[in-house]
Structure 1
Amino acid sequence: MAADTRAKAVTLDLRRRLLSSSCRLFFPEDPVKIIRGQGQYLYDEQGREYLDCINNVAHVGHCHPTVVQAAHEQNLVLNTNSRYLHDNIVDYAQRLSETLPEQLSVFYFLNSGSEANDLALRLARQYTGHQDVVVLDHAYHGHLSSLIDISPYKFRNLGGQKEWVHVAPLPDTYRGPYREDHPNPAEAYANEVKHVISSAQQKGRKTVLKNQFPKMTIVEHAFNPALGRQT
């Protein structure tokens, strides 16, 4: 790999001129310039090593050799969407189905967590005929408009909370209302969700189920159908 020759100040100036200020940097006054990653570590232009505790896209570490090799080999052959018949996507679905309960046997493969959450929201609304959602405080679900509306992390600084969005406390035993010294923080936080649902129903809002918690699991999954592997 060629050594990085562009000064950090030059890169920062280019970014400030060419990218929107809404695309925020970590440590904006003196950002870290990352030039490569390997495993659990990131490296800056000075060769300094950082333990990466924040990236959520490198599930098996940065530049995992098995992933790099598989991506390289597949990109030499084909990289297209799922509208064409291809073995990889059905083989992956088959392998995935073998790890899940029998009821979870039909799959949608998407590019990102934003797409997965938007689809989950549309499916739930189509199935129930209802609009209201319960979310956790401080939650972030993605950058699509439909997801900003249900993300307290975002909507409080943009358009405010919609009447069909109901916010329950984040189950945080370190900073939240029910902490490690509480006799049963899990039950206490679950009761908060029940209270949020009950309050919504008293206002005439329609939730998924009236008198019990729905047993459902929604999984975000990023997948390249041509590669046949998760990312």
Structure 2
Amino acid sequence: MNINVVALVAYLAATYLVCGIPFGKIIARAKGVDIQSVGSGNIGTTNVAREIGKGAAAATLLLDAGKGALATSLAGAIFPLWVTGGAPVDPQAPAAGLVGLVMLAAVCGHIFSPFLGFHGGKGIAVGVGSLLGFAWPVGLIELGIFFVIAFATKRVSAGSVTVAGIVGIVLALFYGPNLGQDLIVEAAGLVVVWAHRSNIKKLIHGQEKAFSFHKAGDAPAPDDSGVGGTK
């Protein structure tokens, strides 16, 4: 298999930039709120839900997941034409690790957004979206695990950390081992776990807030955990 390195690097760079678009911040700004200065300071769905409401949160979730899904699904379609010299890039193919790199670029773009001084969200929505765009059965399994844990604990972060931490294992169990792909996808998951490091500390000490939606008429909650996209 011959790999067009220039085309691959260009695609990864484009993925990083597109997935760095901070939709949560943009949507919140349209509502008159600087999402990085309220609540946890995070630009993701959970903080948007807590500080603005369901509609803004749904839009943030769909756009963040959508940019990841677009990146990997498009890669699966065009890599055989532009990058791998005709070799398939489905989850069981040798070249699947290249789409794993796209998933990693998407997650890193969101967490280390070049538009926010290399701060950003925590990567779970864009990560699951990336997985759905490439290996949708595994993406659905991960979503199922997430919802079970999040509802059982009433802590979104508990579900997020769990599914991110096991994503490479679930992929290998479903499709069979494909070492390069599995390791790269697991690396993307571990970046998401790292982004949740403050949540993990709070979970350990029983200080993590239960999930709730912002109610109409409520003022945004004061920031009790510092300001910044990595909180």
**TM-score, scaled relative to structure 2:** 0.23
Higher helix proportion, which one?
2
**TM-score, scaled relative to structure 1:** 0.23
Higher strand proportion, which one?
1
